[in-house]
Structure 1
Amino acid sequence: MQLTVLLVVLAVLAVVGYHLGRSRAANAVGGRIVQLHSVPAYYGAYVALWAGLPAFLLFVAWGVSEGWLVMQMVLAGLPDRLTSVDAQGIALLKADLLNLAHGLNTGRQPDPAVVAGAEHYNALRQLGDWAVLGFGSALAVAGLWYARERISPRMRARNQVERVINIVLIGCSLVAILTTVGIVLSLVFEAARFFMAVNPLEFLFGLHWSPQMAIRADQVGSSGSFGAVPLFAGTLLITVIAMLVAVPVGLMAAIFMSEYATPRMRTALKPILEVLAGIPTVVYGFFAALTMAPFVRRIGDAVGLDVSSESALAAGVVMGVMIIPFVSSLSDDVINAVPQSLRDGSYGLGATKSETIKLVVMPAALPGIVAAVMLAVSRAIGETMIVTMAAGLSANLTANPLEAVTTVTTQIATLLVGDQEFDSPKTLSAFGLGLVLFIVTLTLNMIALRVVQKYREKYD
């Protein structure tokens, strides 16, 4: 609550500082704004930044370090009999303190010292929040007063404001880059632990996937089989089915909207088609499991085919419908980017509209269309919910679309559900699958971006 109040105070002071900075800059030159180095808005922004930014940085610093700092102070006040344990015991103690501090039931009678520590934890957090509120508000007021007093006609407000904005933009870029690097490194390190326990050749070329194995000494289980070829085959099968649906429908829709539809019709149709991209994938999963899968099975029974209740065909068709907007929207933009002069030249030589589309527009737009298809393939490979709900969990090595299969993403989700032991090859296999999936999708995206880059170079 106190930190929310601080944010509101900072917002109000920033707005007040902006208006005070503008008015002071204008008053400093008697209303003759041309005598100012920068426009009044920059002076206002300068005061607003001083009023809000230092206190906001304090707020962020406290939010990041609050939990660790308060926990260390609480642990320092607990009896030695509770803290003189190994790292696992400290972790359990911290979990008990947090549960009791948030009013959660630990399922056992807590130690009175731990209860007192939880109360101390809440008291320290509340005290810290009040301190940050008071000090942050005072810091914001001081910053506002300091910045307002520095305003003068010769002050280079624009340069200073843009310097701060540039630093913020660089910081945001670094956060994005470091996050990506952290994700990749965590994936690589955990996958390396898996490949230390399982032969990479067995993983990449094995034909049987059964990761169930004992994760404790007293547990009965098999040794596990980690041949991932059935998962790769299932992923490829469902992706091919999805592309067979999405590419023709999406491409034809793009050609119609860009070449045949009137501007008014295109304005109405394109947003309607793109609504498909905004539907949650779990809704597509419901549709695939409750409507498409029974429909496919009834059609198969009608013609004498044995169709599984969960099939690759049902999941692939629904996934293709979900991907249609990716193909149609990107292809439509690419086709519209083809210079009109190419069409006019074709018409001038006597070609019909359909001949112009087939022989001129489509070849010119082909690199962009290929890039759109590549991005759609990446989207299909990474889909989880539709496959989980409509294709099943059976790791079958088959090319029959009427049978149940599973994919890489589905197995990753299955392996990491619930409490898991991260020293077991069973759980670590999810990271091996994730690494393979990451490499495949990264390669497809790089190919798509490279194709788009060449296309832009050709027509820019």
Structure 2
Amino acid sequence: MFLALFSIVISIAFFAYYVGHRRALSLAGNDLSTLHSRPGYHGAFLAILTAVPAFLLLSVWAFFQTSVLDQFVLTRTDHFLVGLSSAQIEAFLRDAKAIAFGGIVSGVDEGKEFAASLYARYQKVGHVLAAGSLLVLAIIGFSWGYHRICASARTRHFVERSMMVLLVACSAVAVLTTIGIVLSLIFESLMFFRKVPVLDFVFGTHWSPQSAFEGAGADGTQTNTKIFGAIPLLAGTFLITSIAILVAAPVGLLSAIYLSDYASKPVRASAKPVLEILAGIPTVVYGFFAALVVAPTIRGWGEGLGLSVSSESALAAGLVMGIMIIPFVSSLSDDVINAVPQSLRDGSAGLGATKSETIRRVVLPAALPGIVSALILAISRAIGETMIVVMAAGLAANITANPLEAVTTVTVQIVTLLVGDQEFDSAKTLAAFALGLLLFCITLALNVFALRVVRKYREQYD
């Protein structure tokens, strides 16, 4: 229903734009210079006044409709909820919604059926009221704006200020989203650190959250804090990421050098899109490839050499992850290398340097800030990868530098801890947020390092 109402609002906006544009043309006649603003601004002016209030109402309705419906249903079904806890009331409402909107629920009773009928009835009433309110607001805005359009109307100023407000709002959304993510991680992590000391978490060498209550007190509530050590996860993350970047960095950088300075235009036009196709392959496909092809191949080669190779190894995951992030390095590095001024190449050639010497001593140093940024982006992408590690490297939390053994990463453990029904007041579940905060700090440190490199060398070559 929301999409239908949104489509109606967009259609009304286009209609208002057309009407406003036509009215401005009719006012101008054959001489557009009599208008203060171009006809397009008059059309945009009328479209904004018609659609924006309706869209704001639609957004408020979409945001609050669930809580409003819940309150209405609770006031009519309070006699069915006597003696129930808050969790049981939430489950009651969830089942009632499922019954009302076509879900499957076990244990249907009279109270849930009555609540479901209320949900269905109130939602229909809400849809009708929302649609009617949208049309009323649109008509009021259209009527007021239509009569405001005249030759001297400064609609351009209004439209440009409205666009500025939109740009500021979009920027604010991005900033507030980042702040919200960080605050949520910090809040939940603080709850975790009330149960587990920070030092035990950051420097601990044993990770086994599945046994969070083993060795507990007589009441079974005291958490064993020695099993939440993040060192094995960090070791596995850095091992797999190192293997990946050792594959992606040379292959991607050399590919970028070839495409930018050696390849002919036909080869570049065909090779670069083919290389970038790797970035569009879903990570689950890479996971299948790693688990079904790369891992068995590595194990076969290792056994042929007399080595002990795990069926799920860090090497298999790292190699496939390196293939996955090659486009990040090659495409960005290629763009950066092409952005180096041709005058630098010509000056080097004029001094007698060969093409390879020019690339090594002039082009690459000048493009170093962009290349570092590409590598940091690729490293961040590798650190955040989950599916390939799950399917190729396993879930074993080991502290090892041997790429032939099974390891796990921070992101895999976050997923493992949050899968299924969880209690968000237990250390086991809250550990996922602490891991997320730790991963955030690591990637932030990488970005700060990349920013310092970029600033240092950009001053030298600008």
TM-score by length of 1: 0.94
1:8 shift after superposition: 3.4
Task: Map 1:386-397 onto structure 2 (within 5 A).
Answer: 386-397=388-399
Matched to 1:10, the amino acid is V
Cα distance in structure 2, aligned partners of 1:432 and 1:8? 42
Matched to 1:128, the amino acid is G
Contact map agreement 2:249 2:326 (CA 8 A) in 1? yes
Residue of structure 1 in register with 2:242 after alignment: 240
**Contact 1:22 1:43 (C-alpha < 8 Å) held by counterparts:** yes
Quote the Cα distance in structure 2 between the aligned partners of 1:35 and 1:457: 51
The answer to which of 342-351 and 223-232 deviates more is 223-232
The correspondence of residues 131-280 of structure 1 with structure 2, limited to 5 A, is 131-213=129-211, 223=224, 225-280=227-282
**Counterpart among 338, 342, 345 of residue 343 in structure 1:** 345
Question: Match for residue 65 of structure 2?
Answer: 66
Q: CA–CA distance in 2 between the matches of 1:99 and 1:221?
A: 37
Structure 1 residue 375 corresponds to structure 2 residue 391: no
Query: Structure 1 counterpart of 2:453, which letter?
Result: V
**1:83-124 alpha-carbon deviations (Å, 9 max, x no partner):** 5654334323322322222233432142x2332122011101
Q: What CA distance in whole angstroms lies between the structure 1 residues aligned with 2:348 and 2:173? A: 50
Q: 1:108 matched to which residue of 2? A: 107
- Say if 1:202 and 1:227, in contact at 8 Å, map to a contact too: yes
**Residues 339, 419 of structure 1: alpha-carbon distance in 2 compared, 3 angstrom cutoff:** same
Moved over 4 A (4+): 83-86, 214-222, 453-460
Greater displacement, 357-366 / 86-95? 86-95
Residue type matched to 1:60 in 2? S
Distance 1:188 1:265 in 2: 50
Report what 1:321 is aligned to: 323
1:438 match: 440
Q: Trace 1:6-17 onto structure 2 (pairs within 5 A).
A: 6-17=5-16
Counterpart for residue 285 of structure 1: 287
Aligned partner of 1:47 in structure 2 is 46
* Alpha-carbon distance in structure 2 between the residues aligned to 1:105 and 1:390: 36
Task: Give the deviation of 1:459 after TM superposition.
Answer: 4.6
Cα distance in 2 between the residues matched to 1:310 and 1:219: 35
Per mean C-alpha deviation after superposition, the further-off stretch among 17-26 and 314-323 is: 17-26
Tell me the CA shift for residue 5 of structure 1: 4.1
Structure 2 letter corresponding to 1:25: A
Cα 1:255–1:456, aligned 2, differ >3 Å: closer, same or farther? same
Which residue of the partner structure matches residue 87 of structure 2? 88
The one-letter amino acid of 1:288's match is A
Letter in structure 2 aligned against 1:146: W
CA shift digits 1:390-438 (9 cap, x unpaired)? 0111111111111111111111111111111112111111111111100
> Distance in 1 between the 2:293 and 2:455 partners?
41
Q: Given that residues 418 and 432 in structure 2 are in contact (C-alpha distance below 8 angstroms), is that contact kept between their aligned partners in structure 1?
A: yes
Which secondary structure does the structure 1 equivalent of 2:353 belong to?
coil
Query: Kindly tell me: are residues 12 and 109 of structure 1, through their superposed partners in 2, closer, same or farther at Cα, counting changes over 3 Å?
Result: closer
The 3 A distance-change label for structure 1 pair 4 and 434 is: closer
**Residue deviations 1:344-364, cap 9 Å, x none?**
111111111111112221222
Identify unmatched segments of 5+ residues in structure 1.
none
Instruction: Tell me, in whole angstroms, the C-alpha distance in 2 between the residues paired with 1:251 and 1:242.
Output: 14
How many residues are aligned here? 458
Superposed CA offset, 1:17-51 (max 9, x none) = 11211121122233311111110000011111122
Deviates more, 1:356-365 or 1:295-304: 356-365
Q: What is the CA–CA distance in structure 2 between the aligned matches of 1:219 and 1:239, rounded to whole Å?
A: 39
Q: Distance in 2 between matches of 1:48 and 1:85?
A: 50
Alignment CA distance shift 1:343-1:392 (3 Å): same
2:287 and 2:390 mapped to 1: Cα distance?
8
CA pair 360-5 structure 1, distance change in 2 beyond 3 A: closer
CA deviation profile, 1:156-180 (whole Å, cap 9, x unmatched) = 0011111122222222222221111
Tell me by how many angstroms 1:339 deviates. 1.7
Q: Distance in 2 between matches of 1:398 and 1:214?
A: 23
**Any conservation in 2 of the 1:5–1:133 contact (CA below 8 Å)?**
no
Letter of the aligned partner of 1:359 in structure 2? Answer: R
Q: Does structure 1 retain, via aligned residues, the 8 Å contact 2:235–2:399?
A: yes
The 8 Å contact of residues 213 and 221 in structure 1, kept in 2 or not, is answered as no
**Does the CA contact (< 8 Å) of 1:213 and 1:222 recur in 2?**
no
- Give the match's secondary structure for 1:209: coil
Which shows bigger deviation, 80-89 or 123-132?
Answer: 80-89
Contact 2:80 2:111 in 1 (8 A): no
Task: Write the distance in 1 (CA, Å) between the matches of 2:219 and 2:30.
Answer: 84
Alignment of 1:343-362 (within 5 A): 343-362=345-364
**TM-score where L is the length of structure 2:** 0.94
Residue matched to 2:118: 120
Q: How far apart, CA to CA, are the structure 1 residues paired with 2:249 and 2:3?
A: 49
Residue 314 (structure 1) shift: 0.5
Identical columns (%): 55
| Distance in 2 between residues matched to 1:301 and 1:407, nearest whole Å | 26
Whichever residue aligns with residue 187 of structure 1, its letter is L
Aligned to 2:400: 398
